[in-house]
Amino acid sequence: MEENNGVDESAPIDPKLQEAENYKAQANEHFKKKEYVKALEMYTKAIELFPNNAVYLANRSLTHLRLENFGFAHKDASTAVTSNPYYLKAYYRRAAAHMALGRFKKALTDFEYVSSRQPNNADCKEKANECQKIVRRLAFEKAISVDVPDKTLAEIHTEFESIEIEDEYKGPRLENGKVTLKFMEELMQCYKEEKKLHKKFAYKILCEIDVYLRKQPSLVDITIPEDAKFTICGDIHGQFYDLMNIFKLNGLPSEKNPYLFNGDFVDRGSFSVECIFTLFGFKLLYPNHFFLARGNHESLNMNQIYGFTGEVLSKYTRTMSNMFTSVYNWLPLCHCLNSRVLVMHGGLFSQDTVTLDDLKNIERNRQPPEDGLMCELLWSDPQPQNGLGPSKRGVGTQFGPDITKKFCQLNNLDYIVRSHEVKDMGYEVAHDGKCITVFSAPNYCDTMGNKGAFITLNGKDMKPEFTSYEAVPHPDVRPMEYASSLFSMIQGGQA
């Protein structure tokens, strides 16, 4: 962190400035210990005393970057640039926020400005070159892209049928090309032993799930019988061994034990391939009793940064990575349980007249846009105060208790369930019981110390019951093992 703030230490210190500097010093210590929430609090106290201090703002921007509050990080960095156009660290922070939001041209402009002011800054030059490569690659991909008939993956990739299975392969096999319970049991055991599903069967599962998902609506209606149990899980984020623990605690999926997994199956955790094939396998085995919703991390930009693309390239091929991108575009965006509970990954909307019919009519076969209903379903977050607020993420919106109440009244819903945020106990009940968050990745990224949770309810009263659980051990592969170099750039570099 910036330490002296340009203060002449021999001169008498203004008591107000001294107080602010003390807050900054405390924040710096918290930051070094990775206590980012505490650091944020201290930087905010300093900024309340000096709202236009570029150093305080840039430091808080970096803290927001570490917390992945990219919208707030961008706002602080931009304010710092306006307050002091010569303070180059602010441009670094803003560039990192732009990168996280997929705004690579704007990031490049900031990196190039710093390079022009500091031509011998090797780190900035490297970041500018990396960003330039991305901008050129995106421009090239756009230039060569052509409209193609809307063929299924199986129609496009007919060559997969001719793949030979080596004699030495002893892993799980599809039966007549279909997923069976025996296959799923063998697949999960295979993954527990850190082995790999043969590429022919992996390709086949992707082709089969592609055909199925194309037929689904953007909002899926689910009927839960009165005496039946139903389970909702939140983010898994590539934590395969914790996914196995959920099934141990709550039972394997079956027609009598249905599940809904509410997005963010992949990225960050380094067993995302194992998670996604397990989930896709159960979807094919129990199509009417196992449900999957799209999260904000089931998208190309997130996958390229946070590890899923790198993991697929390491374990399989570029072709398979592209197939996942296509399949994710067809995942449903939300589910409605017994016409009483709406489940989506992110949250509610900046418009106050959105109906369930509006959600059913969303054209979802695309990468998530930066605004609109699809974006907000995947990215929005609740806030404690009434009304709408700017998104801390820079995408979507933040919505208050009054927004949730009005949406539920308009659509005759009891409450909503969403995921998307780490919670200490794995869940949180907010907005007078009408907004529930569930997060199912315990000790997120091996650092957060949170519990995971899942929700169970029955069709009769739809009352949510919560089960929290601790993380279980996993093989010695660290989270973010497959993340790209973009991730370190988004973290904002060193303070």
E strand segments, 44-174: none
Instruction: Tell me how far apart the alpha carbons of residues 220 and 288 are, in angstroms, rounded to a whole number.
Output: 11
Residue 431, Ramachandran bin (φ over 0: left; ψ between -120 and 50: alpha; else beta): left
Instruction: Tell me how far apart the alpha carbons of residues 47 and 490 are, in angstroms, rounded to a whole number.
Output: 23
Catalytic residue chosen out of the listed positions 30, 297, 345, 420: 297
Tokens of 58: 């840039």
Strand partners, 335: 220, 343
Return phi, psi of residue 148, to 5°. -120, 155
Q: What is the pairing mode between strands 415-418 and 341-344?
A: parallel
Return the closest-CA partner of residue 120 out of 88, 97, 83: 88
Sign of dihedral through CA atoms 360, 363, 369, 371? negative
Give 211's Cβ-side CA count (13 Å radius): 9
Return the closest-CA partner of residue 62 out of 392, 391, 492, 489: 492
Q: Which residues contact 233 (CB under 8 A, 6 or more apart)?
A: 246, 259, 260, 261, 262, 438, 440, 454, 455
Instruction: Tell me how far apart the alpha carbons of residues 479 and 275 are, in angstroms, rounded to a whole number.
Output: 14
Return the closest-CA partner of residue 73 out of 87, 86, 90, 85: 90
Return the closest-CA partner of residue 134 out of 307, 332, 301, 299: 301
388-390: strand order across its sheet = 381-382, 397-399, 388-390
- Is residue 297 part of the annotated active site? The answer reads yes
Give 243's Cβ-side CA count (13 Å radius): 30
Return the closest-CA partner of residue 453 out of 484, 419, 487: 419
Return the closest-CA partner of residue 31 out of 61, 69, 51, 1: 1
Tokens of 314: 């390491």
Q: Which long-range contacts (CB under 8 A, 24 or more apart) does 463-470 make?
A: 464/415, 464/417, 464/429, 464/436, 466/425, 466/426, 466/427, 466/438, 467/249, 467/250, 468/425, 468/426, 468/427, 469/245, 469/246, 469/249, 469/426, 469/442, 470/442, 470/443
Catalytic positions are 297
